[in-house]
Each structure stands twice: as C-alpha cells, then as structure tokens.
Amino acid sequence: DAAEIGAIAHLYRGEVYRSTIWRTRLDTTTNWAVVTLGIALSIAFSSPQASPLPLVLVGILIIFFLMLEARRYRYFNVWRARCRWMEIHFFAPMLHDGDLHMEDGWQRQLADDYWAPRYHVSMAVAIGRRIRRSYFWILLIQTTAYVGKLIVHPTPLTTLPQLAERAAIGPIPGIYVLGIGTFYCVAWGTIALWSLRDDARRALARKDHTSMG
C-alpha cells in the first residue's frame, strides 16, 4: 500500500545517503595517498643530492591508506548493494512498461541482510579492487619515480652495480632494498589480479546477474 511504498522510499533514500557518505570517505583516503606521494616526490627531486629515501618511506603510508580504504570499501559495498537491490527489484518494475524477470525471494534476501548484516566481499577482494581502481596508478608513479631517481641522480647511471649502490639505505645493502621493492610491487599486483579473477568467478557462479553483492 501507499504507506509501505513510502517506507521503502525513505529506506532507499537513507541507503543512498550512507552509500554517498562512504564513497566520499574512499575519495578522502585516496587524496591522502596522492598528497603524501606528491610531498615525497617534491623532497626526493628537490636537488640531485637529495635522498630517494622519502619515496621508500611513503610506501608505508600508502600501505596504511590502502588498508584503511579497503576497510571503508567493504562498508560502502554493503550500502551500494542494498541500493542496487531495491532499484532492480522494487523501482525498476514500477517504471518498466513490460514484464521484468525478478529474482525469486528478493524480499527475503534483503530482509536477511538487514537482520544479520555482513560484508559482501573479503578484505583481500576489497584491497584488490581499490588497487585496480585507484592505487595502481599511485604505486606505478611511486615505483617509476624511485627507479628514475636512482638512474638520473646525482649523475646519470653508467653501470648496473651503481643502481644497487645508490639504493642502499644506511647499513642495508642496495640489493636487499631493491629486492624488497620488487616484492612490494609484485605482491600488490598479484592481489589485484587475484581479485579480478575472483570477481569473474563470483559473477559466473551467480544464478542471476542481479544477485546482491
């Protein structure tokens, strides 16, 4: 009846609001990562004698922001899924002039999600999605800038052993620093590719393309 339709409309509006708030929080952490990387770039390239260490240390902050953003994304995904669920099964049939195929028991699934809230994606999947959407470019710029700094400063690189020598951090040999950096990049790339394959697997496993989550 009209009262129930009005209640659903208010519920949908509330979910849209929560989804918007958490989407803004995702943008905030991404902005923090971009700003800190920009500061590290400014310090590292301020002069040929400047140390490349800020580009290494900013990686710690990027990891922290990525973890924080992945956690926020898991919350955002809950609100987004609920909004999409109501759009497909409640509002779309009212706007469509023909018959729409509806997933059986959609009301019960939505009610269960309210009764027992849960994350729809794992932390690993959330991390992979945020890397693919935003942090791939941040990590690419950080890595490119670090390698470029070692190659051109303080003088252009002439031999390969010089690369390891310039990468050394105090008592830590440069070869170990480069090895850790390689692992750093490969690890994030692996998580991103794994999450991409997991998303594809989840999509194929759904009985209906409108499934929540």
The DSSP code sequence of the chain is: -HHHHHHHHHHHHHHHHHHHHHHHHHHHHHHHHHHHHHHHHHHHTSSTTS-SHHHHHHHHHHHHHHHHHHHHHHHHHHHHHHHHHHIIIIIHHHH-SS-----TTHHHHHHHHHHS---SS-HHHHHHHHIIIIIHHHHHHHHHHHHHHHHHSSS---SHHHHHHHH-BTTB-HHHHHHHHHHHHHHHHHHHHHHHHHHHHHHHH-SSTT---
Number of domains into which the chain is organized: 1
In a domain, 213, yes or no: no
Classify residue 94: in a domain, yes or no: yes
Any domain includes 211: no
212 occurs within a structural domain: no
Task: Provide the domain limits for residue 179.
Answer: 2-205
Q: With respect to residue 62, please indicate whether it lies within any of the assigned structural domains.
A: yes
Domain presence at residue 160: yes
* pLDDT per position as a tens digit, 47-92: 999 999 999 999 999 999 999 999 999 999 999 998 988 888 888 7
Please give the model's pTM, rounded to 2 decimal places: 0.86
What are the tens digits of pLDDT across the range 11-31? Answer: 999 989 999 999 899 999 999
